Amino acid sequence: MISYPMKLVLAVTLAGCFSLLGSITWVMAESRQQTATEHSNSLSQSKPLATTSRKEPLRLVLPPLPPGQPPGGRRYGGARRGTCPVGNPALTALVPLTEQPTSIMNVWGLTTVERPTFWFYTPYAKGSSYPADFVLLDEESNPIYRQDIVLPSEPAVISVSLPTTAPSLSVGKQYRWFFNVYCENQKQQAPIYVEGVIQRVNLKPAIAQQLQQAQPRQQVAIYASNGIWHEALTTLAQLRQNSPQDATLQQEWQDLLIFVGLSDIAAKPLLLKN
């Protein structure tokens, strides 16, 4: 595994200047995944269609880790050299965290769409004037997308959606992402950051048919019961945007985050886009 200080420095270099791609690729190559096998590209079992009268709290069925080198990653951004205060809670990626017997923490999730949405909690607000960005790498550790992030007016959960101008994710391939917050405008120091892996998969036809026939609330449960984290969370967030006063949706959001170990984020404000 890559040493922690080295990863931080390289994350800064990647986000600030793609001209240093060569050295970044060398480091990131150690943590990239082997191509997932065919059974990872297509979920193998259809789950029962959920109903809106479901009384059980939302739960994510964690899919097995892809074969090859573990995804690794970093769900929480801790204290670093510089002027950034330590958030409480810290900068957090809203992604499941699985631990292997070797104590390797894996921050990763599945998606079914070409351009998914990522979710983060940032304790840093716009008034801090801290630069922030999101970076996406392909399996060969090539940077394929970068986006400057405008921090919210107050600490909150925010989203980063890949636009139509971004490359589409290919089925079966794994992509590494970074969300960086820099402690000074020149980006000369290592940022506070979170890091993880996303993999796009195909759904079995039976599950896809269930989704087509289901209402959005049912879709959330279908995605979650089949291990599709990114669409489960994004669909639920969209429902909350449409009905911000719906207490049931708020509770389902909290249930889902608590289930994956994000109880400290579950009740934090959700910044919904206009």
Which CATH number goes with the domain that contains 181?
2.60.40.1220
Whether 135 contacts 178, CB under 8 Å: yes
Residue 268 lies in a domain: no
How large a percentage of the chain has pLDDT more than 90?
63
The residue among 155 and 49 whose pLDDT is bigger is: 155
Residue 274 lies in a domain: no
Say whether pLDDT at 41 is over 90: no
Write out pLDDT tens, residues 177-208. 999 999 887 777 889 999 999 999 999 999 99
Phi, psi of 41 (to 5 degrees): -85, -15
Separation of alpha carbons 78 and 205, rounded Å: 42
Is the model's pTM score more than 0.85?
Answer: no
Say whether pLDDT at 51 is over 70: no
According to the model, what pLDDT value does residue 87 have?
Answer: 83
Whether 119 contacts 232, CB under 8 Å: no
The residue among 144 and 28 whose pLDDT is bigger is: 144
Mean pLDDT lowest for which of 6-15, 61-70, 209-218?
6-15
Residue 265 lies in a domain: no
Separation of alpha carbons 270 and 273, rounded Å: 10
Residue 59 lies in a domain: yes
Domain of 181 in residue numbering reads as 4-36+43-259
According to the model, what pLDDT value does residue 99 have?
Answer: 80
Residue 143 lies in a domain: yes
Separation of alpha carbons 199 and 175, rounded Å: 6
Residue 231 lies in a domain: yes
Burial of 104 (0-12, 13-18, 19+ CB in 10 A): middle
Residue 267 lies in a domain: no
Number of domains, the chain = 1
What distances in angstroms separate CA 24 from CA 21, 104, 197, 258, one per listed residue? Answer: 5, 22, 16, 34
Write out pLDDT tens, residues 141-168. 999 999 999 999 999 999 999 999 999 9
Write out pLDDT tens, residues 106-122. 999 999 999 999 999 99
Residue 188 lies in a domain: yes
| DSSP string for 84-145 | PPPPSSPEEE-S-EEE-TT--EEEEEEE-SSS-EEEEEES--GGG---EEEEEE-TT--EEE
